[in-house]
Amino acid sequence: MSPTRRATVAPLSADTYKLQVTISATTHDKLRRVRDLLRHSIPTGDVTEILDRALTLLLQDLERRRCATVARPREPVAGKAHGRHIPAAVKREVWRRDEGRCAFASGCRRCTETAFLEFHHVVAYADGGAATVANIELRCRAHNQYEAVVLFADDAETVRETAAAW
């Protein structure tokens, strides 16, 4: 068995890309089964349309779980939240406000990272910081860890947590 190759994505024009991937036999079987099941709505069995549908559904699921994005949000529950839990309404508003990217700024420059994002307490939870829109910001893992080191590190500059709690 040959080593796994990375996918290559190359632009062909302003709105089209070439995607080349190597997939396992199991993944190929899943793709073939999905193609067969979708023949009523995609008679050609076009893999591009299948991938677009699959990625749309995956994106909706991930945004629902990570950003609390829903079609009809519930009304926020009144009362003070207990523990580290960040309410869904706060997550939605923070994600929208921070535009889905790290809100860490140094000088006049803001971090551009959009991956490995974590919800960060501006006033630390350990110092009584509440899970409110005003006190929560998005941070990439690196900047969240940096702020933890600044706030909590001892002389050895160790951080209490090695990964995000959520």
Beta bridge partners of 10: 18
Amino acid 45: pLDDT: 92
Residue 80 lies in a domain: no
Domain boundary among 38, 67, 96: 67
Q: Residues 83, 87, 92, 93: what is their CA dihedral angle, to the nearest 10 degrees? A: -80
Residue 125 lies in a domain: yes
Residue 160 lies in a domain: no
Where b means 16+ CB within 10 Å and e means fewer, 128-158 reads eeebbbebbbbbbeebbbebbeeeeeeeeee
What is the C-alpha separation between 82 and 148, in angstroms, rounded? Answer: 21
Residues 12 and 60 in one domain: yes
Amino acid 12: pLDDT: 93
Contact by Cβ (8 Å): 131, 85: yes
Residue 107 lies in a domain: yes
Residue 157 lies in a domain: no
Amino acid 4: pLDDT: 65
The ranges of the chain with pLDDT < 50 are 1, 156-157, 165-166
What pLDDT digit, counting tens, does each position of 97-143 carry? 999 999 999 888 999 999 999 999 999 888 888 999 999 999 999 99
Contact by Cβ (8 Å): 126, 84: no
Quick count: other Cβ atoms within 10 Å of Cβ 119? 22
Amino acid 111: pLDDT: 95
Domain of 124, in residue numbers:
88-152
Amino acid 63: pLDDT: 87
Residue 120 lies in a domain: yes
Residue 22 lies in a domain: yes
Residue 28 lies in a domain: yes
Residues 145 and 95 in one domain: yes
Residues 104 and 140 in one domain: yes
What is the C-alpha separation between 150 and 147, in angstroms, rounded? Answer: 5
Residues 54 and 98 in one domain: no
Residues counted in the chain = 166
Amino acid 77: pLDDT: 65
Counting the structural domains of the chain, the total is 2
